[in-house]
Structure 1
Amino acid sequence: MAPPFSYQRLPERSIRVIKLLPSRRPTDALRCNILNVHLDHVASQPYEALSYVWGELTRQWPLDCDGKELLVTRNCHEALVSLRPRYLPRTLWIDAICIDQAGTPEATAERNGQVSIMGEVYFKSSRVLIWLGPGSGAVSNPVLFRYLRSLHLLSILEIGYPRLAALLEPVTWRLLDLNHGRLVKNKSSPILESLIVILNNPWFERVWTLQEVAFGRKCIVMQGSHALNWESLCLGYLAIPTRGLNRRAETDRLLSRWRLYLALRGRSIEAIPKSRFQGESQAEAELRLLAEIRNMKATIPHDRIYSLYALFQAMGIALPSPDYNKDIAAVFEEAVVSYIRCRQNMAIITLTSPPAEASGFPSWVPDWLTPGHYAEPLIWKLADFDAQPPITMKLTLTQETGNGRLGVMAKRLGIIKKLVCCPLVGESGLPRDAVYREFVQACSDWRRFISSGLTGHPYAEKNPRQIEAALLQAYHHAIPGDNALGPWYRWLRDGRRGAKMPVANAFLIEVAKRRRPTARWFIYVLDTGYCGVAGSGCVVGDAIALLPSLHPLVLRARPSSSSAGAEYRVVTPAYCEGVINGKLSTRLGELEETVLV
């Protein structure tokens, strides 16, 4: 029996690669040699980087490394068997083999250093091999891969030879079963089914894949013995019909992720050009990237941040160096503070609903451990209000920042003194007529509250009916006049003038179909006279503050404040009438230190 393989210390800016030895029979034992390569001299030792799913972590498959035994996982073993050449050695970089995965302090220190240069490892590889597994059934059928190659060739013709492509278009579209660039369901259903199976491969759920695709100068997708380039797969994804395909729902969860893949790399064979992250789309791209990692899988929680380390370096954002010895809460906190300081933008703290206090995470740190949708707490759609963050407030983090605290100079708008809950249709599971009576009663109370609660509004010269319309906008935004919700809104707004109550059945069906909220939201009035709309969780006594680069936030004072500035937990974002979009001028003397915990 061969002795176990032991790792030797790596020189600075060096990596290990394996030289996979050839074999003519797939049943032969896997053998390789391990070499050290300096990243500044990879031209003398080119290598391919493997991107794959680790799968089960049990290591029980032997690999002969320089005459010694190294155990690998099943997925790694299958990939090596498939990639092993018949005649000449093949040089590969595989993270599970080339980085010491032991739990010793020496191994952890090595992993910290290797993760910090991971983007460069993929960028300097001759190509990235995306291994989707051995494949089975329709997925391993070469018809799909041949089809995607043909689709890619058509795209090349359209870009390089538009006149020729226009002449060939009727023939090529008919042969490829395309209609205006979309696959035709009736003719291409086997291809569609196989493509959807590919897109639901666990590889697309890995958080590291974003970086691996972004930095790979050439990416090859492999399943079994079949291969095609990344651009062909992207075109296949874009050709999936958005309507008329009953399986499309299975790929909807991948849509935002694929937008990231296409934005980061798309058809380019270069690393991320900085031009892709300049202008108005830069912040949106970064925040979507940060939001999406909560829905991706990582073996170690720290990797939800460290997998983006090289990406954000390329974008000009300096994150702290990887350190797997740190507590996960500290890793998340440092990433948020680094982003805020670099981008002068606090929107990152509202990417998710605040973590529960019992979780041990500060309320201003996104909940990256719980899957969910982008900007989930904005259930009333702040965009409906044309609510842009203020641009007059300078973002300054105070000395209180650190150890789970985020100190910032903010404008306190007031304390909630009145709340009314906006009704939810069918929440109680009552019969339809009872639901309607309950809803009508709630709306009547709601209307009276709005009418009586706005008398002390600071902007008295503004028409109160315009304020009422703004507060109800979350529920009636862009409703057509002939829609069943139109009469309801007119009754809700003008009931005191004799407007007729809408018919129950048509109204309830329409609300349930088009505008049913997914969580409670509230109309509030502050002790200072301001009013607005806030999400679930707020209570009378909560404060609302305006922070730089953010919509107003509902904050709850922490009973045991120990610092000079009051401590608050974030509850939910809010809309406040008359204070956003630059409507409220803020002088430096009006700002108070607010410490978020």
Structure 2
Amino acid sequence: MASTFSYEPLPARSIRVIKLSPALHAEDPLECSIRTVSLGRTKVESYEALSYVWGEPTRQWPMDCDGTQLLVTKNCHEALLNLRRRFAPRVLWIDAICINQGDDAEATKERNAQVKMIGEVYLKARRVLIWLGPGDASTSILFRYLPIFGILERISDDHPRLESVLYPLVAQHFDINYGVLVKHKRTQLLESMAAILKNPWFERVWTIQEVAFGRKCVIVRGQSNVDWDSFCRAYMAQPKLRESSRSAGDIILHRWRLYQSLRGSSLEVIPPTRFKGAEQVEFELGLLAEIRNMKATIPHDKIYSLYSVFQAMGISLPEPDYGKDVVKVFEEVTLAYIRSRQSLGIITLIPPAEGSSGLPSWVPNWLSSGRNNSLLIWKIADFNAKHLPITPLLTGNVGDGKLGVMGKRIGTISKRICCPLIGNSGLTKDEAYQEFLTACLDWRDLIDSITTYPSGKDLRDVERILLRPYHMNVAKSALRPWFRWATHGNDILPSVDDAALDCIMEKRKARGNFVIFVLDTGYVGTAHHSCQVTDQVSVLASLNPLILRPQSRPREFRVVTPAYCEGAMDGSVNPRPEELEEFVLV
């Protein structure tokens, strides 16, 4: 019985690659050799990098490595069998093999060092091979026709007149409306595309970085392949293809945009021409928000998988350390981003974690999946954010889970109105109607009780802005009379019918997470229903209003949720230096 393969320490700035031996027959056992490659050299030995899903972590599939036995996972074994050539060896970098995956101190030290270089590993690879598992007959046909999407897209962008001539000719042979696929195989091929898009590879957080830095990426499924750019263009160009992945949610569409933005980036810096104005910060925050819904075997990888990406963005993160508690990792990364960008935007990405999570309220909980805040509550009036230029951004009271920031208190919540579309999802139509009516009356009483607004804005404009999110497309809905009644002060109560009741039930499901609040200073606004009476609304440096919950210690607060506070948005509150105070977020 062959001895078990053991790893030798790697020199600095070096990686391992495997030389996969050829085989004439598919059933021949896998054989390879491992050698060390220095990334510090001007000319690096040619190799291909594999991007794939580990799958079942059990290593029970053997392969011969330099005369010793090396155990790999089933997915890795399957990929190697399909990637192996018949007559020539193939040089590959595969993380599960080329990085010591042991659990001792030496393996952890190596993994920490290698993770820092992963971006460079993929950047210097001749090609990145994206392994999506075994294919079938339809895969080959699908991959053959996907590149036509890119041709049509380029024609449309660069030669619109030529497109009008060529498009009908192409349409004679391809079904354009259903994705440039052969008509008689349309159903089969769309099913093949749907199967590809459901592959767990698209859910893994590491895949962002692996594709981002690849100079040339190729999707491999069984013995078929298609270049990454053609696959992306096909997916983005035809809605019919995106519909086939609808079961996976909107996350896939967003991920394509991330890939497209990062493709071909250097390790030094992402070219500034990729973004305009504040687009880079928006992109970064979108990326940070997205990773909460992506999967990683090790919690630390929610951050470490993007180490090289943020390095390329000019954001200096703490060095990877798998021996560190993940709470500390998240806290350090959040603080590093705040200091690098001089912005607190990162703390509003994800709803604050419960106290039991061990995370400070200002640190995103990337381990909790779900819908992201995405600052939507701040976009009610479709404004362009102009954040407060408060200096300094951070105070000296930073560390041990605390974040000291400067800002100004707008007021304390004195009243909370459940919006017309909130409540117990098990309500009957009649109960929903009573809830709806009560909320409308509360709203009417509130508006009638206000004589002037702190910002000087007309009260009718204030109420329309605040009610807008709860009555989307109101002009076309059965709630139009109710909206006019609530905002115009008519005394005649609108009549209710089945159409109105059905509309109330439908709208409640979509808008049932928000309340309207009133501050002791006269301001009104809207926020997630997690806010409570006695919570404070404050404006902090670089942010629009946040709801903060006072803690037992003076000046300490937990972040509750972003808020839309009419009259305090978009830099409207411009405090003098003497009006600023310190808020210690915990």
TM-score, structure 2 normalization: 0.93
State whether structure 2 residue 443 is matched by structure 1 residue 446.
yes
Q: How does 1:203-282 map to 2 (within 5 A)?
A: 203-241=201-239, 248-250=246-248, 252-265=250-263, 272-282=270-280
Which residue identity is paired with 1:458?
Answer: P
Query: Which residue is equivalent to 2:483?
Result: 489
Q: Distance in 2 between matches of 1:289 and 1:156?
A: 28
Q: CA RMSD in A?
A: 2.7
- 2: distance between equivalents of 1:269 and 1:593? 39
**Which amino acid counterpart does residue 18 of structure 2 have in structure 1?**
I
Q: Partners of 2:474 and 2:185 in 1: how far apart? A: 38
Query: Partners of 1:160 and 1:34 in 2: how far apart?
Result: 47
In structure 2, distance between residues paired with 1:183 and 1:299:
37
Shift, 1:377, TM fit: 7.5
- Measured after TM superposition, the shift of residue 365 of structure 1 is 1.0
Q: CA deviation at 1:106?
A: 0.9
The offset of 1:390, in angstroms, is 2.9
Equivalent residue for 2:529, pick from 536, 544, 560: 536
Tell me the equivalent position of 1:508: 501
Q: Which is further off, 287-296 or 20-29?
A: 20-29
CA contact (8 A) 2:18 2:33 kept: yes
Distance 1:143 1:246, change over 3 A: closer
Q: Name the aligned partner's letter for residue 464 of structure 2.
A: A
Q: SS at the partner of 2:474?
A: coil
Whether the aligned pair in 2 keeps the contact of 1:216 and 1:270 (CA below 8 Å) is no
Correspondences of 1:289-308 after superposition (within 5 Å): 289-308=287-306
1:541-563 per-residue CA deviation (whole Å, 9 max, x = no partner) reads 1111101221211111112x2xx
Partner Cα separation in structure 2 for residue 246 and residue 128 of structure 1: 26
CA offset digits 1:154-192 (Å, max 9, x no partner): 556667777765533211133221149777999733222
Counterparts in 2 of 1:119 and 1:274: CA distance versus 1, 3 Å: farther
Task: Name the structure 1 match of 2:454.
Answer: 458
- By how many angstroms is 1:23 displaced? 1.3
Residue 34 of structure 1: SS of its match in structure 2? strand
8 Å CA contact retained: 2:155, 2:162: yes
Q: Residue 200 of structure 1 contacts residue 251 of structure 1 at CA under 8 Å; is this kept in 2? A: no
1:586 pairs with one of 560, 565, 575: 575
Structure 1: which 5+ residue stretches go unaligned? none
Partner of 2:565: 576
Q: Distance in 1 between matches of 2:560 and 2:5?
A: 52
Q: Tell me, yes or no, if the aligned pair for 1:425 and 1:511 is still in contact at 8 Å.
A: no
- Cα 1:3–1:246 shift into 2, 3 Å: closer
Deviation at 1:2? 1.0
Quick one: structure 1 residues 98 and 455, their matched pair in 2 at CA, closer, same or farther if it must change by over 3 Å? same
Residues 213-260 of structure 1: per-residue CA shift (max 9 Å, x gap):
110000010000001100121122124325995764545341111221
Return the offset for 1:130.
0.4
Give the Cα separation in 2 of the matches to 1:182 and 1:437. 53
For residues 397 and 329 of structure 1, do their structure 2 counterparts lie closer, same or farther at Cα, with a shift above 3 Å needed? same
Task: Summarize the Cα distance change of 1:56–1:249 in structure 2 as closer, same or farther, 3 Å threshold.
Answer: closer
Name the counterpart of 2:119: 119
Alignment match of 1:287 (pick from 285, 288, 294)? 285
Equivalent position amino acid for 1:343 in 2:
R
Question: In structure 2, what is the equivalent of residue 373 of structure 1?
Answer: 371
2:397 aligned partner: 400
User: SS of the residue aligned with 1:40?
Assistant: coil
Q: 1:569 is matched by which residue type in structure 2?
A: R
Provide the residue aligned with 2:36 in structure 1.
36
How many residues align structurally? 584
Match of 2:189 in 1: 191
Look up the match of 1:92. 92
Q: Gaps (5+ residues) in structure 2?
A: none
Against the structure 1 CA distance between its residues 488 and 214, is the aligned structure 2 distance closer, same or farther, given a 3 Å change threshold?
same
Question: Is structure 2 residue 474 aligned with structure 1 residue 479?
Answer: yes
Instruction: Give the C-alpha shift of residue 43 in structure 1.
Output: 3.1
Residue type matched to 2:115 in 1? V
CA distance, structure 2, for counterparts of residue 160 and residue 551 of structure 1: 41
Q: What is the rounded CA distance, in whole Å, between the counterparts of 1:286 and 1:346 in structure 2?
A: 13
Matches of 1:587 and 1:40 in 2, distance apart?
A: 53
**Structure 1 residue matching 2:500: 3-state secondary structure:** helix
TM-fit CA distance, 1:61: 0.8
Using the size of structure 1 for normalisation, the TM-score is 0.91
Residue 485 and residue 249 in structure 1: after superposition, are their counterparts in 2 closer, same or farther (change >3 A)?
Answer: farther
Give the secondary-structure state (helix, strand or coil) at the position aligned to 2:413. strand
Say if 1:491 and 1:502, in contact at 8 Å, map to a contact too.
no
